[in-house]
Structure 1
Amino acid sequence: MYGSILASYSIGENNQVSPQALVWLSAGLNSDISSSRLKLASVFYSTGDMEKAELILRHTEQQYYSYPVLPICGCYIHPQEAVTEEFERLCGEQSENCIKHITTFCVRFIQGEINCVPHELQYEMFRSTQDDMIHRDEDKDCWMDWAVVDSLPFLYFLQYKIYCHLQRHQDQQQALGKLIRTIETDKNLRHRETALNILGQCMEQENRPQVALKCYMLSLRQRARNNVANIHLCKLLSGLLVSQ
């Protein structure tokens, strides 16, 4: 986190990542299989270095499917993890140091890292209205002031945005398809509402407002309060009315 805070500051100053920030970012790359690498890819994306970001994402995706990977999230209390027999077997056979290679944390950005975050995800830092704040636990819900997303949806979202910039349309559509399938099939997602919110914004970029509307409505079914889908809905509907 310290590395991305430094990177956010330097990006805000001159749209570059300072050498010191890169040292800190590199030092944390092996904390788990993907979340730290995804933050580094997001940093490069934010500076416009699409080639480096794409390379990191490609390597991370390969690593992700080398072993059965279990997402780990400490943001809130949720039902017991759907641990597979294969994952339990690997945990029994591997040392504690090796377990980090088959686990992945959700990707967290605090507000001090905002310049390292794609603008579609920045909205998540401002999810709570004044009325929502009444329904928050001051100690347990601090994560609601951050941008937090599960690793695999974020990987495919970044791929979608990067391939758009690189004008690789076929790869972009493949990334979008993988994002959709992950949201539909991955039972271990802990921030499904956030994944639906960024998918909705992809659908707006695709000029598919009806599908985007469905994404935001599904997001609100996952979390009715403290969900920036309310803002996305208002913006989308306002835009549709203006275009009439």
Structure 2
Amino acid sequence: MPSVEQTQPLISHLLELRSRLLRALIAVFVVFLGLIYFANDIYEFVSAPLVDRLPEGATMIATDVASPFFTPLKLTLIASIFIAVPFILYQVWAFVAPGLYKHERRLIMPLLLSSSLLFYCGVAFAYFVVFPLVFSFFTAISLGGVEFATDISSYLDFVLALFLAFGIAFEVPVAIILLCWTGATDPKSLSEKRPYIIVGAFVVGMMLTPPDIISQTLLAVPMCLLFEVGLFFARFYVAKQTNES
């Protein structure tokens, strides 16, 4: 049986984890309370890329009685989580930091900040660049005699999936630096595999986006560029680690 000395650290870690999780949930709840009054405005903002490109006389529809009420609230909750991401990541950092070495702490905090920024950049890229092009394409090829009317709940699921796909895809530089940092690979090996990574980026773009070449390319090309960015910074970090050792 584990001794009292072994059990106490485990309990203290679990209590610390619970405290960090509660703080993260409270942060999301506080942001949600601040945004709930603007729930309809937030949905109108997110739906604007499609609404502005609907055929004349067409509108979005609600096929469920409760959709006009619950759909904006669902979007507001997701937006609250997105906004609270930096604070949530800080709680993760505060939980794991005591177990890290000094040089590891110097790396992890910038990575947490950069991962938040890259995620927001991916979401912004999807909204301002991808959505206008994709929705223009979809509305332009609608079948004759078929009225173009999108359910508000289905639209929300669609855009949230794209937000998440582009937000995660923009984390490529952070993933590359972490892979090189842990010794799983190195910049030279990754640069030699560049052709395969480019093909893989287009495969990922095909899997995570709607079945059209526009959105697939708009996801794959930034991933390839961000791969080069991550490769550039990974070289600097590996050189620094080598010098320290």
TM-score when normalising by structure 1: 0.29
TM-score scaled by length of structure 2: 0.29
Q: Which structure's relative contact order is higher, taking Cα pairs within 8 Å and 6+ residues apart?
A: 2
Q: Indicate the structure with greater strand content.
A: 1
Structure whose alpha-carbon radius of gyration is higher: 2
Which structure has greater helix proportion?
2
